[in-house]
């Protein structure tokens, strides 16, 4: 994992969150002219969120130009074969789109790298995906050498070498036409935990989340197109707690609404908590006090401060994390295999 | 795991919690004459809590007579060799105490059973402990057969047989002088998560926590003394959230206290949250509303209700759970090995 | 494994070997009237050898009455998906035949037990097969309990309990309508190593091969029909060496034949070494001395004596044993799954 | 493994074998003046064979100049803790000797690479050794980066990249002061199987044994001193068979000797088969024919020819190979850890 979290510590997240809380009407007014193209659509059960930033947008919001894709099945569960298959299909088509401009594609050399520590279950999704892809190598092997290269180098604390330096060394040796990295992520929102695939062509910064030197893995630093695929498998304790409190406030808020407008019973879904965003927070104040009216981010910050030396200030994962991680390793390896074959 | 949770769903917990919140003075007044002997002491970094209930106590609080031990190192961390060793020493001596009345002890036959699902990391502590104990069997094997028997049968959903029925069949076949079961537990209090060993001689109910039929594994049902050893490796989402809110309230409460009594700066430790129990909750009401004055249990119940159909209503474990589980398997196997040798 | 080797140490083997070396004509004369029905046929690449012994035959050759099936693909190799699939199909149909007389078959309770030590690769085929079958249990689970039970109890040296006693305890507790055990075997003939499935309804004797007390697992001792499925995954050093010398003698023998009869060039196949059985051994004596004319069994015995305190007197397995063992675990679990569904 | 077998396919082996069959007297006459220094001594149960070749020797026998060490405990068995510890001690001291000339040793950067395929038990000794060494990395990590680097890259067929190219890329990136590679080997002599550690400073050729392009990993190609550590974990079928026949001939030969010289009963040890080399082979000819007088190597070649399309022409390992491989991974990691600390 090495907490690079391209979606997490950077401005895009806040931008995106901001976008999320806008009404449909408002979303449509985010025009390309501003340098940011936001799009959300649904294919079967999969919600596909795409944010494209061009040079103008990069300058405006300070977030690197490129494409940021999020595939989510809000109702996914650990043994949900159908949901996993729908995500696989969408992922294959999105990967193909994002790599369509690579010249001489069918003969290109591909380097796949699974980041993370295979001995820490929620961090093992990258290495386990590579385990399932190793068996493809012989199919792409000829007298000229291989067209497919697969590595799961482990993390710096196991190998001694910074992950970015490993990737640089391999890229120089292999000279691939494209580099694809798979990694586990920390979820920014507990409702996305284990239900989302994030794909970007802007590269990643292994170690960024933990204050390590931020050597970038990107087209700019390697001279090779980079696709980063991330699965949020852990969530910060403070984020999870603040999310639960949000859900509580929404729930109580809608109960209060129901009483005053009994005809409009809202169903509260955890995923679509913004549904209820118009509930009047002032009605919650008698029960929950002033902080019910604070922005969500401020409650997260409060918990981060309070829990800073506390056990709860840790990354947390669901009890079924073993099952989730195996499923995503299956999903990602299937999608990457199909993408290789389509090339 | 099969969520038997002998400490969890039963009255003892509440009794214990009640006890915990009493002052030292009050604790001393809990006399044996009432049928319950409560004792708390410290050996090095290990806090040992012992609750002994006799027939009178059983009738009074409806909790089975016997001994309930809790060993805790509040400051334990995943690679804390010293802390683990201190717990091991205490555990060996407590096991010896609890089994001192078994006749002909040095020649007794011992059946060790590790409950739980080895494919779910937080539930694997029982099976992994048995993996480390299997290698002892040859040392206790003679022409008369073995004096040590080790099994990790898996869970009902894998084997088809209820765990209690497996234990019954093995007990009838082997006729041991004592049965020791090791299992993972759900923590009732997130500050105990992965920092506690629970030991009881009252037996367990595999499956009790999930509403399955509660076949008891105990001296009464098997005709053999039973020692149950449990490690809390997961915590309920609602419990964790309510604990975090408690910590928040304590923290803010002490800040307010500090302002009025700047000379008595309290350090807030997550473990000893009761330190601050005298903080006046009414001072929190302006910020956090009325619920700041609710009992802790009511906030848990509120989250259980609100999150009932929600992802957060799940068992949760820390990201380092792999590391914790391996360490406890090492600790328990070392303690059980030393106990066997002392016999 | 526990070396029960139902085919190995018992008379049937010698009988079978005797049969193998007869000509086609002779084989046909082994009539059922003698109490033994020998049959060999081929389905695709699979050679199916069936030996059925009735009460008369049991008395005559001292071998327990019942059916002994051997499925072999002589040309099988470790990644041979087609060969494995052909064997799977044959196995499903043979299992159905052997269990066709069980009353109320579709509602019967089935107990599957994988014998052997999962930490010793060639012995792990039983446990690994059960790992793949555990996931079926929920499909056969209802309020009345399960109709499928799956265990891999490990070996006596790990658990303390004799395997047969474990099976007895489980059979008494579960009261299945049929017991199926899967185990690794020692091959009697190195050309069968990892290329053969053996199936019998006569039961097994875990531990028989290593001089342990021979508690039988059979219909007679358990009161339940027993099907034993065995995969030869190791071979005795002396057997392997004697086989290699046989191959050498056959090879040189046929070279000598060729010189005198250049028109009848025999191809020497390792599997069908009896093809060459008519080669005159006396022609080999000048090169290889007198022992070239000895019976195969005597050369095995010589090596057993010479190597008795020697490293080569050990069980040996091919370097690809990991791959073989995983494949057979897949094959057997698929076949057993299909058989369960057909019930 | 990638069968590089520095000891196997090269002339040194034959040279060494030649040496082995000389009498003690003859051995002493192999003087350094000839460019080859042969030395054999014993420390406890460990036999240490050292062959040092200088430039003159290299020219004379065509074998690369450098040191070739073999540590053997002929009586080693799979759970032989004492024997393993004796080997560990010898290995630590020999490693220190071989690396004593590295300048600024205590601050040097060390790159450790475990070759081989972790999914094939006898080939897993390199990767498993690295698994045990990863945990050392944090101890050698500072703000300047690490002084210890640990990788187990897998084999070409899994990664797509030739192992030598991986090593080159890592060496260029890390710029270590020394490279140590650990690998499994094919034994040239079945009595050495799993009982020997081979150490050389002349480098290795991954893939050499299987006809792949022989990119050398050596000081010459990398510009960095290279220590290669090899454990023979498999043996060629033909070699094993020829060894068994040798043992047979020695055994029968000594029986015949005994009859004529009953006072000098020789004990036949598999390891020291040369003890008996003076037995008159002509006495064996009546029983075993002419080939009993052939050189050992010719019998190996005969079996290689005869078994060329046969299952027995495969690498073979003992049934306890899992146990051996774990033990060597423990041994090598302990020795390398101690060597790092002594630096």
CB pairs under 8 A between C and D: 126
% of chain D at pLDDT higher than 90? 47
Continuous segment of H or E residues that includes residue D126: helix D125-133
By C-alpha distance, the chain D residue nearest C234 is D319
Q: Among A129, A159, A222, A333, which would you mutate to test the D interface (most chain D Cβ atoms within 10 Å of its Cβ)?
A: A159
CA angle at A136 for the pair A133 and A142, rounded to the nearest 5°: 140
CATH 3.40.50.1450 domain range(s) in chain A: 12-238+318-341
Residues 6+ positions from D188 with CB-CB distance below 8 Å: D7, D8, D13, D17, D232, D239
Mean pLDDT of chain D: 81
pLDDT given for residue C207 in this prediction: 52
| Minimum CA–CA partner of B110 in chain C | C160
Is residue C48 within 8 Å of C71, Cβ to Cβ?
A: yes
Nearest to B160 among C149, C159, C162 (CB): C149
The per-residue pLDDT of chain C, averaged, comes to 81
Higher pLDDT, A274 or B324: B324
Residue with the larger pLDDT of the pair B337 and A206: B337
Residue D134: phi and psi, rounded to 5, are -55, -40
Within 8 A by CB and 6+ apart from A225, the residues are A99, A102, A177, A178, A179, A201, A219
Averaged over C129-145, what is the pLDDT? 93
- Chain A residues whose CB is inside 8 A of the D148 CB are 160
C10, pLDDT greater than 80: no
Distance from CA of B331 to the nearest CA of C (A): 20
Handedness of CA B51, B52, B57, B61 (dihedral sign): positive
User: What are the pLDDT digits (tens) for B250-285?
Assistant: 888 877 776 665 444 444 333 333 444 455 667 788
- Does the structure show a pLDDT above 70 at D13? no
**What pLDDT score does B214 carry?**
59
Q: What is the pLDDT of residue B33?
A: 54
Of A244, A286, A314, the CB nearest to B290: A286
Q: What is the pLDDT of residue B63?
A: 78
Q: Does the structure show a pLDDT above 70 at B100?
A: yes
A145 bridge partner residues: A142
| Cβ contact, residue pair B245, A248, below 8 Å | no
pTM of the model: 0.85
By C-alpha distance, which of B46, C169, B81 is closest to D135? B81
User: Given the DSSP bridges, would you call strands C46-53 and C36-43 parallel, antiparallel or unpaired?
Assistant: antiparallel
Token reading at D77: 């068995």
Pairing between strand D178-187 and D226-236? parallel
Instruction: pLDDT band for D6, please (50, 70, 90 cuts).
Output: very low
Q: CB distance C122–D323 less than 8 Å?
A: no
Beta strand C145-146 pairing with A141-142? unpaired
With a cut of 60, say whether residue B59 has pLDDT above it. yes
**At a CB cut-off of 8 Å and minimum separation 6, what does C320 contact?**
C78, D120, D314
- What rounded mean pLDDT belongs to chain B? 81
Q: Quote the percentage of chain D above a pLDDT of 70.
A: 79
Chain A contacts of B157, Cβ < 8 Å? none
Q: How far is CA D55 from the centre of its chain?
A: 23
Cα gap A292→A295, rounded to integer Å: 8
If one counts every other C-beta atom within 10 angstroms of the C-beta of residue B5, the result is 23
Q: What is the mean pLDDT of residues C22-37?
A: 59
Mean pLDDT of C130-139: 95
Question: CA–CA separation, B66 vs B48, rounded Å?
Answer: 16
Q: Is A338 helix (H, G, I), strand (E, B) or coil?
A: helix
Pairing of strands B196-200, B226-236: antiparallel
Cα–Cα dist D216/D66, whole Å: 15
Lowest mean pLDDT among B60-64, B248-252, C113-117, D160-164: B60-64
Decide if C235 contacts C241 (C-beta within 8 A): no
Nearest CA in chain A to D164: A173
pLDDT at B31: 52
Q: Mean per-residue pLDDT for B195-222?
A: 78
In chain D, beta strands by DSSP E: 36-43, 46-53, 66-72, 110-114, 141-142, 145-146, 148-151, 178-187, 196-200, 226-236, 315-318
- The whole-angstrom separation of Cα A191 and Cα B111 is 44
Contacts of B147 in chain C (CB under 8 A): 160
Task: Write down the pLDDT at residue D172.
Answer: 96
Is A191's CB within 8 Å of B317's CB? no
Mutate to test the interface with C, among B142, B143, B146, B159 (most CBs of C within 10 A): B159
CA distance D55 to D57: 5
C316 → closest Cβ in D121, D284, D319: D319
Q: What is the pLDDT of residue B12?
A: 40
* Region for B62 from its dihedrals, namely left if φ exceeds 0, alpha if ψ lies in -120 to 50, beta otherwise: left
Question: pLDDT for B293-313, tens place per residue?
Answer: 888 888 888 888 888 767 767
Residue B25's pLDDT is what? 47
Confirm if A168 and A222 have CB atoms less than 8 A apart: yes
Give the burial string for B85-124 (b: 16+ CB within 10 Å, else e): ebbbebbbebbeebbeeeeeeeeebbbbbbbbbbbbbbbb
Verify whether the Cβ–Cβ distance D160 to A145 is below 8 Å. Answer: yes
Residue A79 CB neighbour total at 10 angstroms: 11
Statement: residue C262 has pLDDT above 70:
no
Q: Residues D84-102: pLDDT tens digits?
A: 999 999 999 999 999 998 8
Tens of pLDDT, residue by residue over C299-314, are 888 888 888 767 767 7
The CA distance from B161 to the nearest CA of chain C, in Å, is 7
By Cβ distance, the residue of B138, B157, B170 closest to C157 is: B138
Q: In this predicted model, what pLDDT tens digit does every residue of D206-261 receive, in sequence order?
A: 654 444 445 889 999 999 999 999 999 988 888 888 888 888 888 888 777 766 65
Compute the distance between CA of residue D204 and CA of residue D192 in angstroms, rounded to an integer: 20
Write down which chains contact chain A via at least 3 CB pairs under 8 A. Answer: B, D
Contact criterion met (CB < 8 Å) for B311 and A318 = yes
Phi, psi angles (nearest 5°) of residue D201 = -110, 15
In this structure, are strands C178-187 and C226-236 parallel, antiparallel, or unpaired?
parallel
Token duo for residue C199: 């199936």
Output the pLDDT for position C28.
Answer: 53
C316 compared with A15, residue with greater pLDDT: C316
B interface with C, Cβ–Cβ below 8 Å = 134-135, 137-138, 140-141, 145-151, 153-154, 156-162, 165-166, 168-170, 172-174
Give the residues of chain A that fall short of pLDDT 70: 1-33, 206-214, 258-281, 309
- Please tell me whether residue C294 adopts helix, strand or coil conformation: coil
Higher pLDDT, C266 or B238: B238
Residues in C closer than 8 angstroms to B172, CB to CB, are 169, 172
Residue A196: strand pairing partners: A72
pLDDT at B87: 97
What residues have CB less than 8 Å from C312, skipping those under 6 apart?
C237, C238, C241, D190, D240, D243, D244, D247, D270
Range D12-238+318-341: architecture per CATH: 3-Layer(aba) Sandwich (3.40)
Lowest mean pLDDT among A145-149, B111-115, C317-321: C317-321
Which of D148, D160, D211 to probe the A interface (max A CBs under 10 A)? D160
B neighbour chains, 3+ CB pairs within 8 Å: A, C
Q: What is the mean pLDDT of residues D33-48?
A: 88
DSSP A269-283: -STTGGGGTTS-GGG
Q: Do C151 and B148 touch (CB under 8 A)?
A: no
pLDDT: which is higher, A266 or B68: B68
Please tell me the distance from the alpha carbon of residue A87 to that of residue A267, in angstroms, as a whole number: 26
- Mean pLDDT, rounded, for C306-327: 83
Q: Do A318 and B314 touch (CB under 8 A)?
A: yes
Query: DSSP readout, A117-144?
Result: -TTSGGG-HHHHHHHHHGGGGGGGEETT
Q: Where are the beta strands (DSSP E) in chain A?
A: 36-43, 46-53, 66-72, 110-114, 141-142, 145-146, 148-151, 178-187, 196-200, 226-236, 315-318
Relative to beta strand D141-142, strand D110-114 is: unpaired
CA separation for the pair D237, D300 (Å, rounded):
9
Mutate to test the interface with D, among C319, C320, C324, C325 (most CBs of D within 10 A): C319
ipTM of the predicted structure? 0.83
- Give, in order, the Cα–Cα distances in Å from D161 to each of A115, B38, D156, D164, D165: 18, 65, 5, 8, 7
Q: How many CB atoms lie within 10 A of CB A266?
A: 17
pLDDT tens column, C75-99:
999 889 999 999 999 999 999 999 9
Rounded (5°) CA angle B75-B78-B79: 100
> pLDDT of B138-181, one tens digit each?
999 988 899 999 999 999 999 999 999 999 999 999 999 999 99
End-to-end CA distance of chain D, in Å?
29
- Residues D232 and D196: their CA atoms lie apart, in Å, by 7
Instruction: Tell me which chain D residue has its CA closest to the CA of residue A138.
Output: D157
CB contact under 8 A, D306 and C247: yes
For residue D157, give the nearest of A137, A154, A165 by CB distance. Answer: A137
Beta-ladder partners of D217: D204
- Residue B8's pLDDT band (cuts 50, 70, 90): very low
Integer angstrom CA distances of residue C181 from A25, C110, C151, D55 = 66, 11, 10, 63
Q: Which of C167, C174, C178, C180 is nearest to C108 (CA)?
A: C178
Q: Mark yes or no for CB contact C137/B153 under 8 Å.
A: no
Strand partners, A114: A182
In this structure, of A286-300, C25-39, D164-178, the range with the lowest mean pLDDT score is C25-39
Indicate the residue of B288, B316, B318 with minimum beta-carbon distance to A288: B288
Sequence-distant (≥ 6) Cβ neighbours of residue C202 within 8 angstroms: C6, C64, C65, C66, C67, C68, C218, C228
CA A282 from chain center: how many Å?
Answer: 34
Shortest Cα–Cα distance, B285 to chain A (Å): 6
**CA-based nearest residue in chain D for residue C76:** D311
Do the Cβ atoms of D170 and A169 come closer than 8 Å? Answer: yes
From A161's Cα to the closest Cα of chain D, the distance in A is: 6
Indicate whether D104 pLDDT > 90.
no
pLDDT score at C261 = 58
Q: How confident is the model at residue D61 (pLDDT cuts 50, 70, 90)?
A: confident
Q: Do B291 and A287 touch, CB atoms closer than 8 A?
A: yes
D137 and A157 within 8 Å at the Cβ level: the answer is: yes
CA A171 to chain B, closest CA, distance in angstroms equals 31
Q: How many CA within 13 A on the CB side of residue A39?
A: 11
Residue C137 has pLDDT above 70, yes or no: yes
Least confident of A203-212, C24-33, C252-261: C24-33
Q: Mean pLDDT, to the nearest integer, of D24-38? A: 63
């Amino acid at each position: 994992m090495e907490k690079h979290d391209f979606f997490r510590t950077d401005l895009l997240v806040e931008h995106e969150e901001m976008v999320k809380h806008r009404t449909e009407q408002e979303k449509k007014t985010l025009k390309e002219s501003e340098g940011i193209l936001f799009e959300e659509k649904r294919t079967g059960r999969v919600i596909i969120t795409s944010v494209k930033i061009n040079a103008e947008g990069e300058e405006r919001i300070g977030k690197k130009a490129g494409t940021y894709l999020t595939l989510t099945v809000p109702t996914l569960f650990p043994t949900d074969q159908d949901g996993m298959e729908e995500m696989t299909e969408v992922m294959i088509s999105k990967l193909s789109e994002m790599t369509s401009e690579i010249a001489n594609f069918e003969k290109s050399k591909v380097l796949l790298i699974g980041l993370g520590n295979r001995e820490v279950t929620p961090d093992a999704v990258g290495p386990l995906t590579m385990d399932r892809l190793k068996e493809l190598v012989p199919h792409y092997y000829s007298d000229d050498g291989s067209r497919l290269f697969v590595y799961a180098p482990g993390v710096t604390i196991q190998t001694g070498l910074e992950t970015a330096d490993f990737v640089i060394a391999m890229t120089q040796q292999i000279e691939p036409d494209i580099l694809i990295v798979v990694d586990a992520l920390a979820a920014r929102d507990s409702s996305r935990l284990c239900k989302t695939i994030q794909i970007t062509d802007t590269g990643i910064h292994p170690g960024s989340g933990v204050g390590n030197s931020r050597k970038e893995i990107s087209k700019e630093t390697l001279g090779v197109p980079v696709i980063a695929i991330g699965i949020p498998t852990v969530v910060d304790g403070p984020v999870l707690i603040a999310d639960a409190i949000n859900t509580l406030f929404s729930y109580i808020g809608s109960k209060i609404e129901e009483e005053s407008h009994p005809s409009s019973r809202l169903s509260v879904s955890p995923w679509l908590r913004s549904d209820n965003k118009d509930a009047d927070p002032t009605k919650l104040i008698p029960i929950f006090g002033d902080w019910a009216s604070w922005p969500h981010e401020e409650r997260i910050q409060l918990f981060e401060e309070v829990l800073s030396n506390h056990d709860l200030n840790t990354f947390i994962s669901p009890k079924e994390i073993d099952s989730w991680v195996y499923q995503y390793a299956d999903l990602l390896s299937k999608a990457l295999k199909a993408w290789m074959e389509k090339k």
